[in-house]
Every structure is written in structure tokens, then in C-alpha cells.
A and B are shown apart, each in its own frame.
Chain A
Amino acid sequence: MLSETKRITFAVLSALVIAASTLAQSDASQQNRTGKAGVFAIVGARIVTVSGATIESGTVVLRNGKIEFVGANVAVPAGAEKIDGKGLTVYPGMIDAATNMGLLEIQQGMPGGVDVSEVGVMNANAKAYLGVNPHSTHINVTRVNGITTVLSFPTGGVIAGQATLINLNGSTQAEMAVVPEYGLVINFPRVATGGGFGGPPVDFNEAVRRRDNQIEDLRKMFRNAENYLRARDAYAKDKTLPYVATDLRNEAMAPYLRGARPVLFTAERERDIRAALKFAAEFKLKGAIIGGQEAWKAADELKKANFGVIYTNIYNLPVREDDAYDSLFEAPSKMAAAGIRFCISTGNDGAEVRDLPYHAGLAGAFGLSREEALKSVTLYPAQVLGVDDRLGSIDAGKIANIVVTDGDLLDPRTNIKYLFINGRMLPLTSRHTDLFDSFKDRK
């Protein structure tokens, strides 16, 4: 029998436990779980700013969605929610610059949720911003592993469409967007001799012809759009000229032809990368290469063109049987040595974007320094995308996308302890923790 005091204590404790668990539940039920706003101060943590020196023990203050202060001797503002960072490490959120996040839920067998590839070959007006599902389960699954921002883009045809740069939190696209219409993605035509699944291989010369024709079609698309814009401008100034009806595809090309936004070319082999750069020079386009298996071989022209590389080949097999077994693990270190601006991305459609840190880690096992490996998924993608004024490091004034861990960010054994996107503290829950909670105690 319990004594009276013990019984009362027990009752009070039980009530507390129930209250606490109810709280936890109501927190968790805030799905799409956009978290809570406030002023937060992470105190006494190791701070890996990435852009500058690591602070062994310091404070980061987040307010109004931005990083307000960072430093070794920063006072905690009145009213701030204090987070004890002892033994923890603070990193900037990771950025994956090559995904199809939110554009497809299940690739196989569920066409209703697949919006990744439009009909046709030239789709400059296919805008990922309008197709991304803010409530895709991939979003929570990804961010709880420390990835806070992704570039998401369509895949089909030659001009695949426009990429959107989003933070992985928000109930609407607008709440998520960093740059709604970020850039144009072009699958740059290549010499493809492989027949694919069961198909006969194509004759090399025929494959070259096909590639040349496709590039010519792409060139025509650009020239037509130029002419269209010229005619529109002329009509705007002089209404006696023939009226030019709106053409959405040509219209969508305007910011790219005017150099206002970047063009991203998917290209793997050296000759294709050089060809893409030549094309970009012809139309004075700015941008980057996505893929980049052999980018290190084209360092001279990449640097001359001021093009960065979004490298997506860590989880790919070497192309040729006699390639070194680690050739694609090693490529980032070769790019670093050649002075190419690059970042590492998954190139994944959504479900496995959460593996981004391990892509970088593997590059770290094969020649890239640990510091560079970390930068390759934080500051470098921000630089390649030209948004390093807002993202990619822990500096005052940047967007408060912050990850707090109990270990090395790129190590698969590391646990994420706190997560902030746009300064909101997010619950560390996802479809996967929900399923875990539902079944972990089943007897």
C-alpha cells in the first residue's frame, strides 16, 4: 500500500505526465507542422559558421526569421527563448541544389501525384513553383535530417522548365519560396549512343547528328524568343506596328535572355559541358552546370564563363568499366583542386534528398577535406546559386535556417536536436517518426 503522501505525489506526477504528453501531442498535431515563431537564443554551443572561424562556445540569436547575432560574447536578449547548447554544435541548414522535391510523391504506380515532366520538348513556362506540393511527406522527412533549402525543378524534354528555390517549411508555396522562379533548366543535348533498356545502340555518327539537330532546335527557340521580345518591345513603343499576341513560352524566356536569371544546364561529359558553355556564351547566359561528372576536365572554360557546378554523381556508378572505382567519389576533390566553384547535391526526386550529408561525406572519404565537404552542402550551393547573401552560413542578417546537432553534421550517426527554418523552431517529426510511434510498442 502506498502511504498518503506518496499517493498524492504519485497523483500529482501522473497529472503532470499526462499534461506533458498532451502538450507533446498538440505540438505534434500541428502538421503541416510549420513550427513556432519567436526569439531564440542558442547558448553555449559550438558554432560552425562555415563562412568564418568556428566558435568553440558561443551564442546565436534568431529573430524575425533572421540570424540577429552570432558570436562568443553575445548577450541573450530579454524575452528570448533560451536553448542550452552545451555539448551541441550549430550548423547552417544544408542546401540541395538539384532535386524534384514536391513535384512527385511516388514515382512508380501513382501517376496522380507525379508532376515532374511536361509534355513536349521546350517548356520554359513550366514552373516548378506552381507544381510543388507544400504538403508532400518528403518535406518533413528531408528537413529533419538537416536539409533546410532545396532547388526543385522539372526534368523532361530539352527545356525542362523553371526551378524554384524553397525552404522546407510553409503551408503555401509563397511561404516556402526563397526565389519563386529561380532559373531555367535545360537538359543540354548530348551524344547518346546507348539504346537504353533493351533498345539497339545508335550508330555514333547518327547520335552526333541527333545531338546537333537538338542543339539547333534549342538555338531556334532562343532566337525566336529574342525576335518575339524585340517585336513586343517595338510594339510597346510604336502602336502602329503589328500587334504581337502573347506567347507564354516565349514570354517565359525573357528573364533568361536578358541575363536577369540563371540558366542551369544538365551535362556530364567534358565535351557536353564545353558545348553547353559555348551555347551559353552565344546567348550571354549566366548559370551553372548540373551533373558535372567530368567538370574537372573543363575547369578552364567553367572558370572563364563564371559557371559553377552542381555535382550530382556521388551515388552513381562510374560510367565505363575501366574508370577508377572511385572516380565519381573523387570528382569533387578534383574540382576543388582545379578551382571550380562547385557544390554537392543528391539529384534525387525527393524521398532520398535526406541523404545529402552522406553524399558530401563520401566525397570527404575520397580526397575532399572535411571543411570543404561541409561547405559543399552549405555555403557552396548558396554561392553557386548566387544566394549566399541570404543563405549558406551562420552570419548576422542571413535567413535563420539553423540545425543543432550532437555531432558532425555529415555523419550518419549524428542526431539533429533542434531545427529552425526562417527562424521558426520546427518539431523533429515526419511520416517516419509517426509510423515509428504507432508501431514501436506493438506486442
Chain B
Amino acid sequence: MKKTITYLLLCLLAISNVASIAVGQSTTVTLIKNATVMTAAKGTLENTDILIQNGKIARIGKNIAAPSGATVIDATGKFVIPGIIDCHSHAMLDAINEGSFSVTSMVRTRDVIDPTDIAIYRAVAAGVTAANLLHGSANSIGGQNTTVKFKWGHPAEDFPIADAPPGIKFAMGENVKRSNFPAAAGQSPRYPRTRMGVIETMRDAFIRARDYKQAWDDFRAKKTKVQPRRDLELEPLVEVLEGKRLVHAHGYRSDEHLNLLLLADEFGFKVATLQHGLEAYKIAPEIAKRGTGVSIFTDSWGYKLEAYDATPYNAYILWKNGVVVSINSDSDERIRRLNLDAAKVMKYGGVPDEEALKMITLNAAKQLGIDKRTGSIEVGKDADLAIWNGHPFSPYSRAEMTMIEGEIVFDRAKDGQRRVDMARERETLEKLDMNRAPGTGGGPPRVPTDRIRGERDDAEYGEGGNR
């Protein structure tokens, strides 16, 4: 009986534990002491404390007294930066491309997010706290993206940022044309196959969306009597026309990105970001004039023809023209070194360090419409922070601790302890009968299937085609 009660109590404890995590916002008070704070908003502050309450940055200053019960983190000699935000990622996604049609605006990446993807942990271990989970680039108009915080350990529903504006993926160029992924034998190629066809596919979709919106407007104004049938393909595009949904447009060549900007002018909407934009530097004034952001790789290039006119000075030229630039990974590997990708733009042209830092933090937040809550270290913002053991632009530095809304999602010291535990667990498991080597009396080994997922967005479509 006593045992049962204890057991029940333990269960209750476990449940309440889970519940408190599920709230997603730490109720504890944390004080980070004596750090070099790179705010990405108001310069770098030496010997500075950050007080975190209810998941928010409550105070920034010198010699802040620890409130009673506060967890104090001594960050002497360490650097604190805003959590890194990756404006182009496919981490967590069990599927990336619904590439069957040329317009798949009805599908949503948030329906396929996997909160146990190890890529999340590897990203938070590099100071990344938020990401734009984009649909792939297999079609002119792809699916809806999801803006998430990497709340490792939480259930899937805690990841999307509730008040982030919705968005959608567009794509242009080689991936959309399926240039490097020919149709399988017996299948006819999908329209479009040229850059001419790509922009026409988009134009056609927006004409249909405009007509659809008109039908609803007329109905609501009682000009017509029959309610239009809901169209899940066109609804998101109507939201684009109404300025309620952000367009993130994958592309490489400047001419095709300019085609899209002109199309957007024609239909009266703004493109939120040009994704990749390896040639964006060629049309920097045109992009700046429209207030469109660009999310780039710093220096990845040459992996296909449309990536051949890249230059690592892209960030500098765009920044000089007043464009909001972010640096993204588009890769579960690269996401672990966005700090170094930001550092590089200081060399290529001479972007100042705070502007370089913004390219992996505040600027990405601006592009995703979440800059009111995250992206810089300012009072009132979410406590999304990364603590580094040295300057984050030094190659010799590593993230020591990452927190999201005040909750620690990565702690290198604890990670070290967990390794020891896991090694012990592995040892125990390997001794089990079913895991014994063939021929030594155990059962047949079970071979785990590697998860089949592309590093980059179009990887699913063919071998080697990972960008």
C-alpha cells in the first residue's frame, strides 16, 4: 500500500514536472553575472549582468543584486549573445518537398515537425534558438513554413512561435525546373521546365488568387448570393495579397529574383525575403527600394551552375545598400557554425562586427517578423541567449550554454555528464542477449534504418542533389 502511494506520488510528480516544462516559459529567476554582452542592438557591454524573470530579460546592467532564489550563472570571461536565428532550415521536418504539383501552397511544414530530431540538439549546442522551417524548393510555389524556437525536450506543439506571422516558400531556377533531377523513365516532365514557365506559374496562381479574393469580397458585400467554395491552395495566396503572409523566395540568379519583385509590384505585395540570393548583390538597389530582405550563405558557391556567380562580398554590398541581410544554414551541419559564417563578412568587404552579429540574430528576427520578442539582448525581450567561452567570432570559441525563454536547453557541463551515463547504458545494452555478435549465441542483430532525409531542401529528389 505504502509502495503504491509512493508510486502514485512519483507519477504525479512526473506529470507536474512535464506540465511545468510544457508551459514553455521558465518561472525561475536567473542572473547571468559579469559577462561581455554583445546585444546586437546597442553595442557590446563589458562586465555586465543580465537578469531573467518569467522567461524575459528583466534588467541589463552592472552589479545587479541577485533576487532571493535566483540561479546565478558566473559568466566572467565569457560572451553572451542573442540566440542565433536561422532563417532557412529544414531541421525537424519529416518531409521537405511536396513536389508533385507546381503550386502546393496548401501544405504546411508544421504538420511534419519532429521534436526528437537530434539536429535540434546539435543546433542548440551551437547557440541556435530559433529557425524558419521552410518547405523545399522543388516547385514554384511551395508549402507554408513554420517559425519555431528550438525547445529541445518539449512536445511538438511548443515549438512554433505562436505570434510569428505565417509564411510561404516560393522557389525559382534549377530546382523548380528540375534541371538536375530529370523525370524518371515513363514519367513526363512537370511544367515548368524553364525560367519563363516558373514566373508564369506564379503569375497564374496570383491571378487565380485575386479572382478568388474578389469572389469572397463580393459575397461578403452581398453582391453575390452563393458562398464560394473554400480553396486551400488559394487562401494562403490571398493572405500574401493582403500582406498577412510572408513570402520567402528561393532563387539564385538576379534576373529571376527581379522577375519576382516585379510580379509582386504588379500584384501589390512585398516579398519578405529572397532566400540564397547568391546574385542578389547584382540588384541590391532594386531589392533595397522594395524593403525586401535577403537571407544568404556567406560563401557557399559553385555547387551548381546557378551558384557560379556568387561572391562572399554579397553580404557587404547588400548591407551597404541598406538591405536587411541574414545568414542562414539550410543544413543540419552548417547550422552548427553560423557564428563563423557571420565572422567571415567582416573580412569580405568589412561589415562591422555588430552588423555581422545581427545577420545571424536580429536581422533574421526582422525577416521573420519576430523581432519584437527575440533577436537581440534588450529589456522586455525573450531570454533567448547563448553563452560562449570566448568571442563568438573566434574559431576557437564554443557555446557553453543556450537558453530559450530563460530555460536552459543546452549546458555543456551537463552534456559531459550525460555522455558518461550513456556510455554506461550502451555497455549494458550491448551485453544483452539480443545484441550479442552473430555466432556468439545471440539472436540476429537488428540493423537500424538510417533516417532518410536530405541535408538541404531538395536532397530527397536525387542522389547528391543536396542544395
Contact = CB atoms under 8 A, between A and B. Distances in A.
Interface in B321-343: 332-334, 337, 340, 343
A304 interface: no
Contact of A361 (B118, B300, B311, B396): B396
18 contacts: A106-B302, A106-B307, A106-B308, A108-B467, A197-B462, A316-B333, A318-B122, A325-B121, A325-B415, A350-B302, A351-B300, A358-B395, A413-B346, A414-B347, A415-B347, A431-B311, A436-B313, A442-B285
Given A108-B465, A350-B302, A365 B422 contact: no
B438 interface: yes
B20 to A, nearest CB: 26
- State which size class the interface on A falls in: 35 or more
Interface string A289-306: 000000000000000000
B311 A436 contact: yes
Interface string A146-174: 00000000000000000000000000000
Interface in A283-326: 315-318, 321-322, 324-326
A105 B302 CA distance: 8
A365 B333 CA distance: 16
A203 B447 contact: yes
B395 A412 contact: yes
Given A106-B308, A317-B333, 8 more contacts: A109-B174, A138-B302, A351-B300, A411-B393, A412-B340, A414-B347, A440-B317, A440-B349
B279 to A, nearest CB: 9
A324 B415 contact: yes
A194 interface: yes
A365 B282 contact: no
Interface in A175-200: 193-198
A135 to B, nearest CB: 15
B463 interface: yes
Given A204-B445, A324-B419, A436-B311, A411 B394 contact: yes
A321 B282 CA distance: 41
Contacts of A355: 299
A362 B395 contact: yes
**Among B284, B333, B337, B467: residue with most chain A CB under 10 A:** B337
B354 interface: no
B299 to A, nearest CB: 8
Contacts of B233: none
B301 A351 contact: yes
Interface in B271-315: 281-282, 284-285, 299-305, 307-313
A255 B300 CA distance: 38
A326 B125 contact: yes
Contacts of B393: 411-413
**Among A357, A415, A442: residue with most chain B CB under 10 A:** A442
B305 A109 contact: yes
B435 interface: no
A362 B180 CA distance: 33
B397 interface: yes
Interface string B343-359: 11011010000000000
A110 interface: yes
A365 B284 contact: no
Contacts of B174: 108-109
Nearest to A207: B447
B463 A197 contact: yes
B304 A413 contact: no
B286 to A, nearest CB: 10
Contacts of B426: 322
B108 interface: no
Interface string A351-382: 11011011011101110001001000000000
Contacts of A317: 122, 332-333
A201 B179 CA distance: 28
A322 B330 CA distance: 23
A88 interface: no
Contacts of A414: 347
A365 B395 contact: yes
**Among A360, A366, A413, A431: residue with most chain B CB under 10 A:** A413
A97 to B, nearest CB: 20
B395 A108 contact: no
Given A203-B447, A351-B303, A364 B396 contact: yes
Given A197-B452, A317-B332, A412-B340, A357 B395 contact: yes
Interface in A397-422: 410-415
Given A110-B305, A412-B347, A436-B311, A366 B180 contact: no
B122 A325 contact: yes
Contacts of B316: 436, 440
B464 interface: yes
A361 B305 contact: no
Contacts of B347: 412-415
Contacts of A370: 396
Nearest to A194: B450
A435 interface: yes
B398 interface: yes
Given A108-B465, A204-B447, A362 B313 contact: no
A358 B337 contact: yes
B191 to A, nearest CB: 20
Nearest first, the 3 closest Cβ-Cβ pairs linking A and B are A361-B395, A351-B302, A436-B313
A412 B343 contact: yes
B397 A442 contact: no
Interface string B396-412: 11100000000000000
Nearest to A406: B347
B352 to A, nearest CB: 11
Contacts of B4: none
B460 interface: yes
B438 A205 contact: yes
Interface string B40-70: 0000000000000000000000000000000
B449 interface: yes
A278 interface: no
A347 B20 CA distance: 46
A341 B175 CA distance: 43
Given A204-B445, A413-B343, A442-B284, A435 B309 contact: yes
A204 B437 CA distance: 11
A347 B260 CA distance: 37
Contacts of A410: 395-396
Nearest to B283: A442
A355 B394 CA distance: 14
